[in-house]
């Protein structure tokens, strides 16, 4: 290896970016505004992503998927989020929902669900509850033994793509006396008796992605649905998030890039005081800061993705850092993009107000940025 190979993406990733960008601009962007305005699932995006093998590209080839590595998945999500954050949740949620199965499940279990995911089934992740958000191990949903079966009762909150997905990884309490060591992971199917969904939440952003409660009422499943050792479900859930928080960084990165692209173009179109507003240094400084921060977020996110792929020891730090940094950048960049567009930025004729609303969630979900800082601090070298 020479220095020529360092800090440059291999050609295959640049080719992937170009093809996803073309698909996103042609088939996803035209619907992004309506999806947001009508609070409707981005079916056009779901169909286009599935057809191109991008809706769950992380599924290994032996299970019918594309076998995309963590960096490739990041680039897919980034490019889709650049035009429609709601649509980018399709590949992100599918990875989040199925990663516990990929990390903890048996070969038979993977053969049972992953090929269906590759064909478009959808896979959601059920960890959070109304009283267990940041304090995830305080969850109350119970799975109790009944002969050879498990009976699940309880409810999960803020579940992305709930109702759309066929499969759900459910993190449930199997021995309340043991705290985080009494938690176990299961797969529940939408068609299982006793599974139902709440009304879609009315959200500030990400309005194209349904977020609903999921209810479990005496849902009875066999032990073949258990994907962690009994009591090892919390560690599996946390291990999963170490890998998938990077996909939220990718999403934030894409939203920020999309907002910068709109603002930069607009700055050359809009004339005030007889010249392009780009000619004012105040606007140039804003655009330069936006681009600089986006590039820094991109480097950190790609570095985190390669650590996820290799399973490096410092993944936890990099994953939390990339999610925090990229989402904070997305919030600042989208606010500044609205500012560059002025009055036009504040109305829905341009996409930057949607992007600003979408950016906010990336600072909150898959662990608030405050929780990420706890994770980073716990993983500093001295610890
Ligand atoms: N990977 C593997 N295991 C982990 C882990 C990780 N990242 N984080 C914690 N664990 C394990 C710990 O090692 C510990 O086991 P041991 O006692 O054997 O060491 C166990 O899980 C409990 O860990 P801890 O005591 O650190 O748990 P806390 O209750 O303090 O919670 C935080 C830790 C706050 C980091 C965790 O609850 C969290 O990430 N919360 C946010 C949840 C979230 O992201 N929700 C978003 C919804 S999911 S989309």
How many other C-beta atoms can be found within 10 angstroms of the C-beta atom of residue 319?
30
Residue 366 designated active-site: yes
Q: Whose CA is nearest to atom 14 of ligand 1?
A: 235
**Residue position matching structure tokens 């050609």:** 11
Under CATH, which number does the domain 123-233 receive? 2.40.110.10
Exposure letters 157-181 (e unless 16+ CB within 10 A, then b): bbbbbbbbbebbbbbbbbeeeeebe
Q: Reduced to 3 states, what is the DSSP secondary structure of residue 2?
A: coil
Cβ–ligand 1 contact at 366 (below 6 Å): yes
Query: Which residues are registered as beta bridge partners of 150?
Result: 145, 221
Ligand 1 geometric centre to CA of 295 (Å): 30
Q: 80-126 pLDDT, tens per residue?
A: 999 999 999 999 999 999 999 999 999 999 999 999 999 999 999 99
CB 239 less than 6 A from any atom of ligand 1: yes
Place of tokens 């170009």: 18
Longest CA span, the chain: 80
pLDDT of residue 383: 64
* 375 CA to centre of ligand 1 in angstroms: 9
Regarding the beta carbon of 129 and ligand 1, being less than 6 Å apart is answered no
How many other C-beta atoms lie within 10 A of the C-beta of residue 261? 14
Spacing of C-alpha 13 from chain mean position: 20
Classify residue 50 as left (phi > 0), alpha (psi -120 to 50) or beta: alpha
Query: Which residues touch 187 (CB under 8 Å, ≥6 apart)?
Result: 101, 109, 113, 167, 168, 169, 170, 225, 227
234 lines ligand 1 (CB under 6 A): yes
**CA 118 to chain CA centroid, nearest Å:** 17
Residue with the smallest CA separation from ligand 1 atom 35 is 375
- What per-residue confidence (pLDDT) applies to 248? 98
Q: How far is the CA of 139 from the centre of ligand 1 (A)?
A: 12
**How far, in Å, CA of 245 to CA of 26, rounded?**
28
324 C-alpha to center of ligand 1: Å? 17
> What count of residues does the chain have?
383
Q: Where are the domains of the chain?
A: 3-118, 123-233, 235-378
Backbone angles phi, psi at 229, to 5 degrees: -60, 155
CATH of domain 235-378: 1.20.140.10
Spatial contact of 249 and 322, defined as CB atoms under 8 Å apart = yes
Nearest CA to ligand 1 atom 11: 235
The neighbouring-strand residues paired with 123 are: 167
Active site residue: 79, 213, 353, 366, which one? 366
Calpha distance 97→91 (Å, rounded): 10
Task: Check: CB of residue 160 under 8 Å from CB of residue 95.
Answer: no
* Cβ–Cβ < 8 Å for 117, 56: yes
The CA distance from 98 to 123, in Å, is: 6
186 in contact with ligand 1, CB cutoff 6 A: no
Ligand 1 binding pocket includes 242 (Cβ within 6 Å): yes
Closest ligand 1 atom number to CA of residue 239: 1
- Residue ranges, the chain, pLDDT below 50: none
CA distances from 323 to 47, 246, 249, 253 (A): 28, 6, 4, 9
Distance 180 CA to ligand 1 centre (A): 8
Smallest CA separation from ligand 1 atom 4, residue: 235
- Token digits of residue 22: 């073309």
Both tokens assigned to 50: 């599935």
Atom of ligand 1 nearest to the CA of 242: 7
Looking at the domain that runs over 3-118, which CATH code has it been given? 1.10.540.10
Distance 227 CA to ligand 1 centre (A): 18
Do the beta carbons of residue 371 and residue 379 sit within 8 Å? no
Q: How far is 344 from 334, CA to CA, in rounded Å?
A: 14
Q: Which atom of ligand 1 is nearest to 128's Cα?
A: 47
Candidate of 98, 126, 132, 136 to mutate for ligand 1, largest count of ligand atoms within 8 Å of Cβ? 136
What single DSSP character describes residue 132?
Answer: B
The Cα–Cα gap between 114 and 61 comes to: 10
- Residues 280, 302: Cα–Cα separation, whole Å: 33
* Closest approach atom of ligand 1 to CA 375: 35
* Rounded Cα–Cα distance for residues 338 and 346 (Å): 6
Q: Is residue 364 lining ligand 1, measured as CB closer than 6 Å?
A: no
Where would I find the H helices in the chain? 11-23, 29-37, 43-51, 70-81, 85-104, 107-118, 233-269, 281-310, 315-341, 352-362, 369-378
């Amino acid at each position: 290896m020479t220095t020529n190979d360092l800090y440059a993406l291999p050609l295959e990733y640049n080719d992937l970016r170009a093809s996803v960008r073309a698909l996103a601009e042609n088939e996803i962007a035209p619907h992004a505004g309506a999806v947001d305005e009508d609070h409707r699932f981005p079916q056009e995006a779901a169909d286009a992503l599935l057809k191109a093998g991008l809706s769950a590209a992380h599924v290994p080839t032996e299970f019918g998927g594309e076998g995309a590595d963590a960096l490739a998945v990041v680039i897919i999500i980034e490019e889709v989020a650049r035009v429609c954050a709601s649509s980018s949740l399709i590949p992100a949620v599918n990875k989040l929902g199925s990663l516990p199965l990929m990390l903890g499940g048996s070969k038979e279990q993977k053969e049972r669900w992953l090929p269906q995911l590759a064909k478009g089934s959808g896979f959601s992740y059920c960890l959070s509850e109304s009283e267990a958000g940041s304090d995830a191990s305080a969850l109350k949903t119970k799975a109790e033994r009944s002969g050879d079966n498990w009976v699940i009762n309880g409810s999960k909150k803020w579940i992305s793509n709930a109702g759309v997905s066929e499969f759900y990884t459910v993190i449930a309490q199997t021995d309340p006396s043991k705290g985080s060591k009494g938690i176990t992971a299961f797969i529940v199917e939408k068609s299982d008796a006793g599974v139902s969904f709440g009304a879609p939440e009315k959200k500030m952003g990400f309005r194209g992605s349904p977020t609903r409660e999921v209810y479990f009422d005496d849902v009875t499943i066999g032990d073949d649905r258990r994907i962690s050792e009994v009591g090892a479900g919390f560690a599996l859930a946390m291990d999963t998030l170490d890998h998938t928080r990077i996909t939220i960084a990718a999403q934030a990165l894409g939203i920020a890039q999309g907002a910068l692209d709109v603002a930069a173009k607009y700055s050359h179109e809009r004339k005030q005081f007889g010249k392009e507003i780009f000619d004012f240094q105040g606007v140039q400084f804003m655009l330069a800061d936006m681009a600089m921060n986006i590039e820094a977020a991109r480097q950190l996110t790609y570095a985190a993705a390669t650590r996820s792929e290799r399973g490096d020891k410092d993944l936890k730090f990099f994953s939390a850092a990339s999610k925090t940094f990229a989402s904070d950048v997305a919030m600042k960049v989208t606010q500044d993009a609205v500012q560059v567009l002025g009055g036009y930025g504040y109305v829905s004729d341009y996409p930057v107000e949607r992007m600003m609303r979408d950016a906010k969630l990336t600072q909150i979900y898959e662990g608030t940025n405050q929780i990420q800082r706890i994770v980073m601090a716990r993983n500093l070298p001295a610890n």
